[in-house]
Amino acid sequence: MNQNTDGRRPLLKAMGLTKYFGDRVGCRNITFDLWPGEVLGIVGESGSGKTTLLNLLSGQLVETKGTVKYSLAGKDLVDLNQLPAPQKRYLMRTEWGLVRQNPKEGLRMQVSAGANVGERLMALGIRHYGTIRSEVVKWFERVEIDVARIDDLPETFSGGMLQRLQIARNLVTQPRLVLMDEPTGGLDVSIQASLLDLLRRLVSELNLSLIIVTHDLAVARLLAHRLLVMRQGEVVESGLTDQVLDDPHHPYTQLLVSSVLHS
Amino acid sequence: MDIKLRVEEIQKAFVLHLQGGMVLPVLSGVNLIVHAGECVALSGPSGIGKSTLLRILYANYKPDRGNVWVEHRGEWVNLLQAKPYRILEIRRSTIGYVSQFLRVIPRVPAIEIVMEPLRNLGYPPQECRLQAEAMLRRLNIPERLWTISPTLFSGGEQQRINISRSFICPFSILLLDEPTAALDDQNRKIVIELIQEAKTRGAAVVGVFHDREVKEAVSTRTFDIPKEKIS
Question: Could you report the per-residue pLDDT of B75-96, keeping only the tens digit for each?
Answer: 999 999 999 989 999 999 999 9
Q: Which of B15, B12, B46, B44 is nearest to B29 (CA)?
A: B12
CB contact under 8 A, B77 and A3: yes
Write down the pLDDT at residue A205: 85
What average pLDDT does this structure show over B162-186? 94
Phi first, then psi, for residue B142 (nearest 5°) are -60, 145
- B78: distance to nearest CA of chain A, Å? 8
Please say if the pLDDT value at position B231 is more than 70.
Answer: no
Q: Do B60 and A243 touch (CB under 8 A)?
A: yes
For residue A171, CA distances in Å to A39, A131, A154, A203 come to: 15, 16, 18, 11
Asked if A3 lies within 8 A of B107 by C-beta distance, the reply is no
Residue among A57, A14, A6, A62 nearest A34 (CA): A14
Q: Residue A110 is which amino acid?
A: Q
Q: Is A142 on the interface with B (CB under 8 A)?
A: no
Contacts of residue A251 in chain B, CB cutoff 8 Å?
17-18
CA atoms within 13 A on the CB side of B125: 3
Q: For testing the chain A interface, which of B88, B104, B112, B149 should be mutated: the one with the most A CBs within 10 Å?
A: B88
Longest Cα–Cα distance of chain B, Å, equals 57
pLDDT at B230 over 60: no
Q: Do B60 and A255 touch (CB under 8 A)?
A: no
- Distance, in Å, from the CA atom of B50 to the CA atom of B43, rounded to the nearest integer, reads 7
Cβ-defined contact of A243 to B75 (cutoff 8 Å): no
Cβ pair B61:A246 closer than 8 A:
yes
Chain B residue with CA closest to A193: the answer is B106
Task: Check if the beta carbon of residue B32 is closer than 8 Å to that of residue A209.
Answer: no
Distance CA B94, CA B71 (A): 8
AA identity, residue A42 = I
CB–CB contact A200 B105 (8 Å): yes
**CA gap A96, A11 in Å, rounded:** 11
Task: Return d(Cα B32, Cα A36) in angstroms, integer.
Answer: 35
Confidence of residue B159 (pLDDT cuts 50, 70, 90): very high
Q: Which residues contact A23 (CB under 8 A, 6 or more apart)?
A: none
pLDDT in tens, A6-56: 557 899 999 999 999 999 999 999 999 999 889 999 999 988 999 999 999
User: Percent of chain B, pLDDT > 70?
Assistant: 97
Nearest to B163 by CA among B88, B110, B218, B217: B110
**B162 and B139 Cβ atoms separated by less than 8 Å:** no
Tell me whether strands A24-34 and A12-21 are parallel, antiparallel or unpaired.
Answer: antiparallel
Determine the residue of chain B that is closest to A194 in CA distance: B107
- Interface subset of B 9-48, CB within 8 angstroms of A: 15-18
Smallest CA–CA distance, residue A147 to chain B, in Å, is 23
Q: How would residue B228 be classed by pLDDT, with cut points 50, 70 and 90?
A: low
Phi-psi region of A174 (alpha: psi -120 to 50; beta: other; left: phi over 0): left
Q: Do B17 and A1 touch (CB under 8 A)?
A: no
Min distance A251 CA to chain B CA atoms (Å): 5
- Under the banding of pLDDT at 50, 70 and 90, the label for residue B198 is very high
Name the closest residue on chain B to residue A37, using Cα atoms: B85
Residues A3, B82: C-beta atoms closer than 8 Å: yes
Contact A240 B87 (CB under 8 A): yes
Contact call for A240 and B84, based on CB within 8 A:
yes
In total, chain A counts a number of residues equal to 263
With a cut of 70, list the residues of chain A below it in pLDDT.
Answer: 1-7, 261-263
On chain A, the residues whose CB falls within 8 A of the CB of B16 are 254
Looking at the complex, report in whole angstroms how far the Cα of residue A175 sits from the nearest Cα belonging to chain B: 20
**Are B194 and B163 a contacting pair, CB within 8 Å?**
yes
A1: which chain B residues are within 8 Å (Cβ-Cβ)? Answer: 75-76
ipTM for the complex? 0.92
Q: Name the pairing type of β-strands B173-177 and B204-208.
A: parallel
- Per-residue pLDDT at B156 exceeds 70: yes
Q: Distance between CA atoms of A215 and A205, rounded to whole angstroms?
A: 25
Task: Please state, in angstroms and rounded to a whole number, the distance separating the CA atoms of residues B30 and A157.
Answer: 58
Whether A3 contacts chain B with CB within 8 A:
yes
What residues contact B154, with CB distance under 8 A and at least 6 apart? none
Element housing B11 (H / E): strand B3-16
- Single out the residue of A67, A103, A75, A70 nearest to residue A88, CA to CA: A70
Q: Which of B15, B82, B88 sits opposite A4 (nearest CB)?
A: B82
d(CA B210, CA B169): 25
Among B17, B85, B119, whose Cβ lies nearest the Cβ of A254? B17
How many A/B residue pairs have CB atoms within 8 Å? 63
